[in-house]
Structure 1
Amino acid sequence: MDYLWLKAFHIMAIVTWFSGLFYLPRLYVYHADTQDQAGDERFKIMERKLYRGITTPSMIAVILLGIALLSLNFSHYMSQPWMHAKLLLVGLLVIYHFACGYHLKQFANNNNQRSHVYFRIFNELPVFTLIGIIILAVVKPFSG
């Protein structure tokens, strides 16, 4: 597949993954604050469908397309310090993704112990990684 096609699909997958990473914790904010059974069940369905149907497949696509892009010129990319920093941030995002999955299971099993305030803070974490990843990918600081 041509480099530009891979890059285009990679960017589409990134946008979709981040949509899920931004929206899922926002659902947790409201879910943690809900008081009624119907609302609780509605949030469980929305969270499960978002995580399993959109966010996780998007993460997988981001990783596979990223590997494909790296493989086109692996030695060059891996010689660039900005790429190492970017991959570290992507790794942190994968951990964040699975933390979202952990919270999903806690809500699904009626075991959530976190407040809406916790989830408001938790919801902001991917913003900082996105900023860092974009700066690293576009500006390429530390490159030789």
Structure 2
Amino acid sequence: MTWLSTLYPWIKAFHVIAVVAWMAGLFYLPRLFVYHAERAERGSALEETFLVMEGKLLRLIMRPAMIAAWLAGLALIAMGALDFGAVWGWAKLGGVVAMTVFHIWLARRARDFAAGTNTLGGRSWRMANEVPTLLLVVIVVAVIVRPF
């Protein structure tokens, strides 16, 4: 057993913790956008509150958690934890890449809110709020059930 393999359970635990924190942000930020789009008037104190909440969520929780999840995940891949010979490994990786793209899209939409150029309404943000759930289902089923 190499010294790195002794770290495997710790890296895996760190990966799961980072993913949970990242998912929490991916669930919460679109919900904040729903209320921001529906209730906050441009320049109001409520809008300023939403902008602070959205910015801190992205900078202090979501971005570090995403980076940590990727780093731990790449370490696990280097240790052979992902089977690229099976479809489930590619399904998981595809789901994680899609989550990353969604994260980047949300960050850009936060900039739109800050600039006063958001064009999406509450209904659109409610639908966007379902994306992380769908990706979570794909990823967890791929890894745990391995149906393909």
TM-score by length of 1: 0.94
Q: Give the counterpart of 1:22 among 18, 21, 27.
A: 27
The one-letter amino acid paired with 1:45 is: V
Q: Percent identity?
A: 40
2:119 — aligned with what?
113
Return the alpha-carbon distance in structure 2 between the equivalents of residues 138 and 35 of structure 1: 42
Alignment of 1:24-43 (within 5 A): 24-36=29-41, 37-43=44-50
Q: Give the counterpart of 1:78 among 77, 84, 90.
A: 84
Q: CA RMSD in A?
A: 1.2
Structure 2 unaligned residues grouped into runs of 5+: none
SS in 1 for 2:47: helix
1:141 — aligned with what?
147
SS in 1 for 2:83: helix
2:17 — aligned with what?
12
Q: Give the counterpart of 1:64 among 59, 67, 71.
A: 71
Return the alpha-carbon distance in structure 2 between the equivalents of residues 86 and 73 of structure 1: 14
Q: After the TM superposition, which segments of 4 or more aligned residues of structure 1 sit over 2 Å from their partners?
A: none
Cα displacement (A) at 1:140: 1.6
Cα displacement (A) at 1:96: 0.2
TM-score by length of 2: 0.91
Structure 1 unaligned residues grouped into runs of 5+: none
Cα displacement (A) at 1:8: 0.5
